[in-house]
Structure 1
């Protein structure tokens, strides 16, 4: 029987069933993690709200910059009139103290700024980090030493202090959300470069990369065709975990007064003046703080799920776990 199978396989009569593609394997592993799926749904909802901010505020009939002085009590220092901070059919979440600006409109537009800055900063970090890591791994000894020392300097720099210094000296005429994204991206790429360099040094010693080199491929072609697919998984994993960190940094910079400036709404910028109103108008503090908490938590859980789904050891763990369940059931 075994000889017949060997002969059939040799003649092509029996062929192994093709395995699932990389995307299908990733989705299959991710589906087993319910927490990651819930987090993905929350992130998708947040992104949808951010993209649909103009439509949502149009349905409410408000915008994030119009002042409503009649809705605040100037005799009490600007506390919103009415119950629950001025909640009404026209202002779904109430109004902002002192100015009377609509809180719902500022919250949904603030999601656009916070998520947009974090995603843009992550893209900048990915581009610089991958380029520096590949250059260090594929360059000569002097190139590797130079780029590695530059990476070490970037990693050693305190992110918040450097960002505060850079944001303080740039003219206010420069678009602030773009500036914040660039500053975070230009300072926070060091760890990505380290990851890419280490992974590339491992991949370049493998047989298929050596074969491509012996075939006369250029270094750029080898990096694009053979090495980049190999470093994609750890880079995507780190990027997924980096987005919530960048959201927190943007919120902290805006809270310190050097990030996004009024009247542009941002969750961190909203928290800048909300800390003195937590007793008179608690929703002014709780709404942006709660939005930040939910967003960072969802992105962190999703990033951990992506890391597990992209882990090449996940498939073997799943198979072992399935086998153990079957033996226990038997």
Structure 2
């Protein structure tokens, strides 16, 4: 009977998965703020991927110095209005060096987004593997991995990253190194989420049926548990991406992240903190890009969380449509109650 139950569930899995994907997409589309955020994120990713093409259209690159475009007598302030904006330099040039700001901004998007996505991937893989192994292992394995996860969670991320980045040879590619360090130091929380979800799922009837059918632990985890982990893992992963962008920017701002001449938004902020009066554009462009990116990813992650769990209300309600709907429902309920009372009297 257990084999028949497992076979029936396996045959129904694709249809239910497809139905679940359609429901998720419908719920996500119903959230206007989340869709605007998704469009913003898609545009940022497109700009990052097309950075070489965009800079080729402008005719510039992010590393070439243009000393003739800065006034050395004034300490390297860009010549011209708005930091030297022209048809050749769409957003002006960098103080002191004269490097093109547009080229550095779009290439910096590749570094910031790439580091954040790579670090999030490492965090998800490590967290899910450790969490599922702890939940499915014996008592000693669970205790060992749970205590290791507690240590990882308790570690101060920025301090650990600063220490590790300071001792690694400078020849190692910095974007890759920053991604690995963030991923290996900050997987603890998602490991706890994966363990808790697995402990809850492994007691369900379909998992017990698969176990009685003689399935191996790996097959049960792959076929029965991992699909159930998708919702909490995707939700938390979406929240980690903006956090990792901010961490990369912080490390680059402190001078231990991505090294010049590779552009990064955090690195640009480090160089711009003394030019906010003479060349405010140099500070506002990377700061604005970081703000828009983190805000869009945060709103999108909240929309994903709400779409995956429709019982949970969004933390970032945007607009007045829902308030107006709630007020209309309250008025309708009051009118209905009054009508019932009048009919009874």
TM over 0.5, shorter chain: yes
Does the 8 Å CA contact 1:29/1:314 hold for their aligned counterparts?
A: no
In structure 1, the residue matched to 2:110 is: 112
Q: Which residue of 1 aligns with 2:228?
A: 230
Q: Which residue of 1 aligns with 2:7?
A: none
Q: How does 1:66-145 map to 2 (within 5 A)?
A: 66-145=64-143
Q: Which runs of 5+ in 1 are unaligned?
A: 1-17
The residue aligned with 1:306 is 304
Distance 1:313 1:94 in 2: 48
CA deviation string 1:299-318 (max 9, x = no partner): 00000000000005369xx9
For residue 189 of structure 1, the aligned residue among 176, 181, 187 is 187
Separation of aligned partners in 2, 1:112 and 1:162: 24
CA distance in structure 1 between the aligned counterparts of 2:280 and 2:226, rounded to whole angstroms: 49
> SS at the partner of 2:82?
helix
Taking only aligned residues, the RMSD between alpha carbons, in angstroms, comes to 2.0
Aligned residue pair count: 308
Equivalent positions of 1:1-330 (< 5 A) are 21-311=19-309, 313=311, 328=332
> Structure 2 CA distance, aligned partners of 1:105 and 1:157?
37
Equivalent residue, structure 2, for 1:5: none
In the TM superposition, residue 328 of structure 1 has moved relative to its aligned partner by 3.9
Secondary structure in structure 2 of the residue aligned to 1:278: coil
Cα distance per residue 1:89-124 (max 9 Å; x no partner): 100000000000000000000000000000000000
The whole-number CA distance in structure 1 between the counterparts of 2:291 and 2:207 is: 44
Length-normalised TM-score, structure 1 = 0.90
Hey, what's the Cα distance between the residues in 1 that align with 2:34 and 2:185?
29
Rounded Cα–Cα distance in structure 2 between residues aligned with 1:225 and 1:191: 24
CA displacement at 1:127 relative to structure 2: 0.4
Q: Secondary structure at the match of 1:173?
A: coil
Distance 2:310 2:44 in 1: 30
Distance 1:207 1:47 in 2: 42
CA–CA distance in structure 1, aligned partners of residues 150 and 55 of structure 2: 46
What whole-Å deviation, never above 9, does each CA across 1:266-290 have from its counterpart, x for those lacking one? 0001111100000000000000000
Q: Deviations over 1:33-57 (max 9, x none)?
A: 1000000000000000001101110
Task: Give the unaligned 5+ runs of structure 2.
Answer: 1-14, 314-321, 337-345
